[in-house]
């Protein structure tokens, strides 16, 4: 799916991106979507909801970050989350101690990393909640 313009609804409300990932996404950087400049990501409400546990033998983790793409932002694949556990059915929030405000339109990405014996199960949804800078 090609990246389109940053998502911003005209109403004053919390916005979100949501994308399903599976064990077959191992080794891929997946585009979740694009958020507009000035947005603040809501850390406690953003992360990964694991519906079916990933079952690779050694490592079942996910990174969430940014890809500059056509925005010119630096590529930082684990800016907001590093090695979120995918081996248990639960919600795992973002975990990095960094700014959650983006200075320019930003493409959000997720990278699945599974090691050991190949996984045969695993499904989750990456959820990014954000508030755009629309108070002007």
Q: Is 10 inside any structural domain?
A: no
42-51 mean pLDDT? 97
Q: Is 135 inside any structural domain?
A: no
Output the pLDDT for position 136.
61
Strands (E), 23-74: 29-35, 40-41, 47-52, 59-67
Q: Is 1 inside any structural domain?
A: no
Q: Is 4 inside any structural domain?
A: no
What's the Cα-to-Cα distance from 100 to each of 22, 28, 87, 126, rounded to whole Å?
Answer: 26, 24, 26, 16
pLDDT of residue 4 exceeding 70, the answer is: no
Domains contained in the chain, number: 1
Give the residues across from 14 on adjacent strands: none
- CATH code of 89's domain: 2.60.120
Give per-residue pLDDT as tens, 10-36.
777 899 999 999 999 999 999 999 999
pTM, two decimal places? 0.88
Q: Is 80 inside any structural domain?
A: yes
- d(CA 77, CA 96) in angstroms, rounded, equals 12
- d(CA 54, CA 60) in angstroms, rounded, equals 6
Q: Determine the 3-state secondary structure of 39 from DSSP.
A: coil
Output the pLDDT for position 1.
45
pLDDT-derived band of residue 97, with 50, 70 and 90 as boundaries?
Answer: very high
Q: Yes or no: say if 112 and 28 are a contact pair by the CB < 8 Å rule.
A: yes
- Residue owning tokens 């002007």: 136
pLDDT-derived band of residue 135, with 50, 70 and 90 as boundaries?
Answer: confident
Output the pLDDT for position 67.
86
Give the residues across from 91 on adjacent strands: 49
Domain with 50, as residue range(s), is: 15-130
Q: Determine the 3-state secondary structure of 82 from DSSP.
A: strand
Q: Is 42 inside any structural domain?
A: yes
Strands (E), the chain: 15-22, 29-35, 40-41, 47-52, 59-67, 76-85, 91-93, 106-115, 123-131
Q: Is 59 inside any structural domain?
A: yes
Out of 32-36, 55-59, 60-64, 74-78, pick the least confident: 74-78
- d(CA 51, CA 45) in angstroms, rounded, equals 16
């Amino acid at each position: 799916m090609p990246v389109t313009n940053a998502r911003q609804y005209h109403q004053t409300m919390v916005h979100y991106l949501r994308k399903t990932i599976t064990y077959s996404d191992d080794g891929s950087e997946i585009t979740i979507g694009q958020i507009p400049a000035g947005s603040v990501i809501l850390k406690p409400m953003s992360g990964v909801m694991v519906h079916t546990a990933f079952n690779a033998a050694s490592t079942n983790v996910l990174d969430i970050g940014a890809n500059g793409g056509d925005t010119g932002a630096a590529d930082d694949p684990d800016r907001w989350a590093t090695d979120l556990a995918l081996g248990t059915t639960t919600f795992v929030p973002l975990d990095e101690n960094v700014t959650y405000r983006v200075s320019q339109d930003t493409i959000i990405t997720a990278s699945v990393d599974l090691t050991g014996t190949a996984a045969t199960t695993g499904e989750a949804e990456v959820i990014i909640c954000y508030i755009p800078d629309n108070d002007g």
